[in-house]
Amino acid sequence: MTLQFSLGNAAPETVACACVAVGVYEQGVLTSAAAQVDSAIGGLIKRQMDSGDISGKAGSSTLLFAPAGVAAGRVLVVGLGAQKSFDAARYQKVNIEAARAAGKLPIAEMVSFLTEVDVPGRDSAWRVRIAALASDHATYRYEATFKPREKPRQAQLKSITFAAGADAQIGLDQAVAIAEGVRFARELANLPPNICTPAYIGEQAQAFARGQDNVSCKVLDQVEMEQLGFGSLLAVGRGSVNKPRLIVLEYKGGNDGDKPYAFVGKGVTFDSGGISLKPGAGMEEMKFDMGGAAGVLGAFVAAVKMGLKLNLVCVVPSVENMPDGDSYRPSDVLTSLSGLTIEVLNTDAEGRLILCDALTYTAQTFQPQAMVDAATLTGACVVALGKHATGLMSKHDDLAAELLAAGEETLDRAWRLPLWDDYQTQLDSGFADVANIGGKSAGAITAACFLSRFTDGQRWAHLDIAGTAWEDGRKGLATGRPVALLAQWLLDRAG
């Protein structure tokens, strides 16, 4: 069940619905919607702020049940924090908290006036887009049927109406498309690896393509890739009974002759490390190692749903990395699709080994005007940037700037690391053209350096989402990042 969104312009004190959400800042400052409600209910909000019962702290919320004087059944008073420091990130946060709070109430509909709050430098379409995406994110529940049943609830939040004028409709339409892509990515990434195999991802891509007019999908299997020479990708997949796939989606929304934009996403459905086996603790998180694949597929879904006037391809190399008698091993030398030979020094540095062949294939087959890959590539990126920023590496300053801007716009932010040639010597090998690991230092960068060897002449950028693709902990879910960033980047390109 997905949330429905609409726009409305009724007054907060007269709108008839189960719940209205209004914002209050710290230090007793009411937004205009809160002030209107407050005067209709005899100053109840102000009194509770004076008494300290409503703090106005960012992310806090207080429910007033059926206060006399308003048409709504409930008033959800949402804290916005200090007014003078209110910014875009805080705006997103309070919308998440409001939707989360509403999701716990026995109500099916809410009218939110948070979209009327002033956010410096942002217009109403932006506010509605972020509010809708934040609400959808906050109320997402993993839908796969083998999850233990949750207690049936009295009612479930089904729709939110945002207070905004018709000028915000475009923002809402974009949000609905992007939210669909985000949900597609999250659902796929949350699945266990015994279900979500390379073949399964291929089937999901094909199922999506079947329902769309200008989308086609091709899935290459092991035999087809052998014939083409995917020596690096296939070596990684050899240890698993779940055989590799290369998934290729094409969307034609632009003119026939227009070069496509290209996404490439790391689709390791489970990364045990292979013969260079990972430690046991936390290994279960490596089901998310197809987060890059989920992210680019989700962004593809969003682009198609927005009907963007451009051509787009999405290429997903998918394997499972397992130890086995037939596994590839440290010291193996592989011949990649590009012809470059690779010395394997660690079978746990497998992402770059499947991406290099996919990048070569994408460049050769489509001559894209720009190529962006997304991958849960290195633990080193998590050390460098933590769980908040995606790592961005590119030799193309203009492309890097476009992606950083798209991340800022959607609050799905990336931070750039250098991709200077100074780091390249860390990949020197005595036995092949390049080694698959670069030693102790700058692990996120040397991984990108490895990929750069396979993108000569391409306008290419790499997103390391190892820290951002899922949330920590037992119950940590896939985040759907970087769907919003990538979708926004395309939206900006389509003009």
The Cα–Cα gap between 344 and 331 comes to 5
- Minimum Å gap between C-beta 467 and ligand BES is 7
Note whether 402 binds Zn ion by CB under 5 A: no
Q: Exactly one of 380, 403, 451, 484 binds ligand BES (CB under 6 A); which one?
A: 380
- Minimum Å gap between C-beta 491 and ligand BES is 28
Length of the chain measured in residues: 495
| Segments in 155-290 forming alpha helices (H) | 169-190, 198-210, 222-228, 231-237
Angle at 333 between CA 348 and CA 345, to 5 degrees: 35
In the region spanning residues 265 to 284, those forming contacts with Zn ion, defined by CB under 5 A, are: 268, 271
Residue 32 binds which entry of ligand BES, Mn ion, Zn ion, none, with Cβ cut-offs from 5 to 8 Å by kind?
none
Note whether 348 binds Mn ion by CB under 5 A: yes
Nearer to ligand BES, 254 or 330 (CB): 330
Report the DSSP beta bridge partners of residue 270: 320
Tell me the DSSP string of 409-449. Answer: HHT--EEE----GGGGGGG--SSSSEES---SS-HHHHHHH
Q: What is the end-to-end Cα distance of the chain in Å, rounded?
A: 32
In the region spanning residues 382 to 411, those forming contacts with ligand BES, defined by CB under 6 A, are: 382
Report yes or no: 415 and 393 within 8 Å, Cβ to Cβ: no
Nearer to Zn ion, 250 or 464 (CB): 464
Q: Beta strand 215-220 with 245-252: parallel, antiparallel or unpaired? A: antiparallel
* Six-digit token string for 352: 């770059």
Nearer to ligand BES, 382 or 389 (CB): 382
DSSP single-letter state for residue 465: -
Report yes or no: 265 and 293 within 8 Å, Cβ to Cβ: yes
Note whether 437 binds ligand BES by CB under 6 A: yes
Note whether 464 binds Mn ion by CB under 5 A: no
Nearer to Mn ion, 182 or 268 (CB): 268
In the region spanning residues 279 to 308, those forming contacts with ligand BES, defined by CB under 6 A, are: 289
- Minimum Å gap between C-beta 131 and Mn ion is 37
Which residue's beta carbon is nearest to the bound ligand BES? 379
In the region spanning residues 335 to 354, those forming contacts with Zn ion, defined by CB under 5 A, are: 351
Note whether 23 binds ligand BES by CB under 6 A: no
Q: Exactly one of 112, 139, 378, 394 binds ligand BES (CB under 6 A); which one?
A: 378
In the region spanning residues 309 to 368, those forming contacts with ligand BES, defined by CB under 6 A, are: 346, 348-351
- Minimum Å gap between C-beta 391 and ligand BES is 11
The Cα–Cα gap between 294 and 217 comes to 16
Report yes or no: 305 and 397 within 8 Å, Cβ to Cβ: no
If binding means CB under 5 A, how many residues of this protein chain bind Zn ion? Answer: 4
Q: For residue 481, what are the contacts with CB-CB under 8 A and spacing of at least 6?
A: 295, 390, 412, 465, 468, 469
Nearer to Mn ion, 381 or 491 (CB): 381
If binding means CB under 6 A, how many residues of this protein chain bind ligand BES? Answer: 16
Q: How far is CA 319 from CA 196, 199, 219, 221, 436, in A?
A: 11, 9, 13, 11, 17
- Minimum Å gap between C-beta 280 and Mn ion is 15
Note whether 289 binds Zn ion by CB under 5 A: yes
- List active site positions: 278, 352
Nearer to Zn ion, 289 or 320 (CB): 289
- Minimum Å gap between C-beta 256 and ligand BES is 38
Nearer to ligand BES, 92 or 272 (CB): 272
Cross-sheet strand order for the sheet of 333-335: 333-335, 341-343, 434-435
Q: Exactly one of 112, 311, 376, 458 binds ligand BES (CB under 6 A); which one?
A: 376
Angle at 56 between CA 50 and CA 58, to 5 degrees: 165
Report yes or no: 405 and 457 within 8 Å, Cβ to Cβ: no
- Minimum Å gap between C-beta 70 and ligand BES is 48
* Six-digit token string for 50: 């004076």
For tokens 């979209």, what's the residue?
115
* Run of H or E including 203: helix 198-210
Note the residues at the interface with ligand BES (CB under 6 A): 271, 289, 346, 348-351, 376-380, 382, 437, 443, 466
Note the residues at the interface with Mn ion (CB under 5 A): 271, 348, 350
Note the residues at the interface with Zn ion (CB under 5 A): 268, 271, 289, 351
